[in-house]
Amino acid sequence: MDNENKGYEPEMNQDADIYEDIADKPEENAEALSSEQTEAENAGELGSEQTEVLEDTAEPAGTPQTQYTVQESGYAAGAAAQTYPPKAAKKKKRRSSPWVAVSMVCMLIAAACIATSVYFFLERSDPVDTPDNGSDTVLQDPDINRGETPDYTSSQNSETGELDNTSAINKALPSIVYIETSGRYSSGSGSGVIMTEDGYILTCAHVISGASQISVMTNDGQTHEASMVGYDETEDIGVIKIEGTFTPAEFGDSDKIVAGQEVIAIGTPYSKMFFQTSTKGIVSAVRDNMTFSSLNLTLDVIQHDAAINSGNSGGALINMYGQVIGINSIKMSGEYENLGFAIQINEALDYAQQIIANGSVEKPVLGITAQTYGNAGGVLVASVSEGSGAEAAGLQPNDIITNIDGQKVNTLDELSAILSDKEVGDSVTLTVFRSGVLRDFTVTLGSSSN
């Protein structure tokens, strides 16, 4: 058979084809052919001329079937050609390739995926309502309301004159500085507020005390060498100076502060990486003569909840007019949250002006160190300063002060509050409990600068 049949069923020789062709004919024809072929094979006379006319399987219905003739030569003389009915076209079986099956499966899977995607798209797509006007409609993109964002401009409350957050901060920023210090034993950093156009800067005493070198970075990013003017550690107020012309802060009136009003803290926590950081909060309370025992300080402070951290000390607490109303000084840490304290600006400016004028703050003092005496009440004298009015009056360690000018005192805070209203050189009468006996002593108040 022809090479075109390769890849299908094994080939059969020509003789086998004849047997296959005759297999479907009537029995008598098969027997005659078999007998004749046997004789021919035995005699070696089987001819080679065979003609096969096959049925065209593609012929249309109703076309007369073509008969085929097998003419065999070499038979006995006078043998007639035999005519047989047409045989059925032989269908060649093809061996199935495994890749054909794989391709069919892949095509089916792809068709299923496409059909599923189309279904879910049609099911889940929200229809767009269009008017039913009997005509074709075109779906339009939905209208999106995109307003024009205006450039920022400062705004102000028309009734109170208070500024918004950004305007209040921008008003104060030119006067807020970053301070770096170094000394013999330590170095540090903090914040400050420019007080005057000629470069006096208000800060905390604990930011600059002990410093031998001080540098200041101003709002424009320039660094300036600063000189020490003075400080008072008992009030935690200090003053330094830089040379040049600068924008001073506007200061408010801390006597008008009320709990609940909004405030903003501005400073440089941790390092100059956070230069001029702003945080907002409210005034929690206004506290006069509040004692911080661990720091040995009694201060008039504004308690607030704006976030402050190490480095904020000396920075500004401003109101919503952009005015400085306090100098941030202390933060409660550990288990406490949102407890920050700023020195009231009226007191801070008073001390700063004294430092500029005299190099120190002059305050009336007894000349003792003391602490609150437990639950019994009174103030326990811990030590007496040499040359002080207390020493001259005869006070001793372990005396318990119970009254001052006839007014009972139960805590050190109460004693400090009474003394703050006095002047240097004033005389006060102290009632002291010593060895089970109450005694009175008259003390002339000295100056803290001494």
- Tens-level pLDDT at each residue, the chain (450 residues): 444 433 333 334 433 333 333 334 444 444 444 444 444 444 444 344 433 333 333 334 444 444 444 443 333 333 344 444 554 444 555 555 566 666 777 777 877 777 666 555 544 444 434 344 444 444 444 454 444 545 545 555 656 788 999 999 999 999 999 999 998 888 899 999 999 999 999 999 999 998 999 999 999 999 999 999 999 988 999 999 999 999 999 999 999 999 999 999 999 999 889 999 999 999 999 998 888 877 878 899 999 999 999 999 999 999 999 999 999 999 988 788 889 999 999 999 999 999 999 888 888 999 999 999 987 789 999 999 999 999 999 999 999 999 999 999 998 888 988 998 899 999 999 999 999 999 999 999 998 877
pTM confidence score: 0.59
Give the residue numbers marked as catalytic: 206, 236, 313
List the one residue out of 294, 363, 351 whose CA is nearest residue 327. Answer: 351
Kindly list the structural domains of the chain, giving each domain's residue range(s) and its CATH number in brackets, ordered by start: 3-84 (no CATH), 162-361 (2.40.10.120), 364-447 (2.30.42.10)
CB atoms within 10 A of CB 320: 20
Alpha helix stretches (DSSP H) within 269-419: 345-358, 389-393, 412-419
Handedness of CA 347, 351, 353, 354 (dihedral sign): positive
Tokens of 187: 């170095």
